[in-house]
Amino acid sequence: MTKLVPIGDHVVIKVEKAKETMKSGIVLPDSAKEKPQQGTVMAVGSGVMLDNGTKIPLEVKKGDKVFYSKYSGNEIKLDDEEYVVLSQHDILAIVK
């Protein structure tokens, strides 16, 4: 099966279908502002590079359920699944 491997501080997220209600009953707010998106982390990059070149591992892990801001990142379709690749700082929060 084909795999997407992100680079640096990027993360690959499998996008959750818009109207799916998660077990915890998350209904996206209807406010004028764009609804944040939800999905599951499929792969994380090598980390955040510091000025001296060392890498700090990302805070999110494979399998985390996350919210991320709607217009961040780039969408990719692979084997009929929709993914988005974005930088860790576009992730709003991990749902635990």
Site residues for a copy of itself per CB under 8 A: 1-8, 10, 12, 24-29, 31, 33, 36, 43, 46, 48-54, 56, 59-60, 67, 69, 74-79, 82, 85, 88-89, 91-96
Tokens (6 digits) for 9: 């501080």
- Residue 62: CB minimum distance to a copy of itself, A: 14
Q: Which residues contact 31 (CB under 8 A, 6 or more apart)?
A: none
Cβ nearer to a copy of itself, comparing 28 with 40: 28
- Residue 19: CB minimum distance to a copy of itself, A: 14
- Residue 68: CB minimum distance to a copy of itself, A: 9
Phi, psi of 3 (to 5 degrees): -125, 145
- Residue 70: CB minimum distance to a copy of itself, A: 8
Cβ nearer to a copy of itself, comparing 62 with 95: 95
Question: What distances in angstroms separate CA 86 from CA 12, 19, 27, 78, one per listed residue?
Answer: 7, 22, 23, 16
Phi, psi of 43 (to 5 degrees): -160, 150
3-class secondary structure, 90:
helix
